Amino acid sequence: MSDKPLLTIEDVAKHFKVSTSTARAWVRQGYIPKNTYIKIGNTYRFDIDKIVAALIAASATPPAPPAGPEDPVSPVQLELDLHNPDNDL
């Protein structure tokens, strides 16, 4: 942690000009990484410099490609037996 005093969640919210509930959501969702704060009981204290660095690093990382098949549209080959029309039904 840095030499600066650790901040409350309200101070973090004020720093980023968001509501306290948004700052709490960022913690729950992992936008504010665990290595940027300490938690004792229900009390959190945040290192603002580490939060800023983590958010800058996260925004510089390109988004991951969506999960799914490599080739979402594979061609399908149909076979028709033109010698016996009853087999096509």
How far apart, in whole angstroms, are the C-alpha atoms of residue 45 and residue 52?
Answer: 15
The answer to whether residue 73 sits within a structural domain is no
- Give the pLDDT score at 48: 96
Domain count for the chain, please give it. Answer: 1
The answer to whether residue 83 sits within a structural domain is no
The answer to whether residue 15 sits within a structural domain is yes
The answer to whether residue 65 sits within a structural domain is no
- Give the pLDDT score at 33: 94
The answer to whether residue 26 sits within a structural domain is yes
- Give the pLDDT score at 4: 83
The answer to whether residue 42 sits within a structural domain is yes
pTM across the whole model: 0.63
Q: Residue 69 to residues 66, 72, 74, 76: CA-CA distances in angstroms?
A: 9, 5, 10, 16
The answer to whether residue 4 sits within a structural domain is no
pLDDT digits (tens, 9 = 90+) for 5-28: 999 999 999 999 999 999 999 999
Mean pLDDT on 33-38: 95
Chain centroid to CA 8 = 23
The answer to whether residue 22 sits within a structural domain is yes
pLDDT digits (tens, 9 = 90+) for 37-86: 999 999 999 999 999 999 888 888 776 666 666 656 666 666 666 666 56
Domain span at residue 41? Answer: 9-60
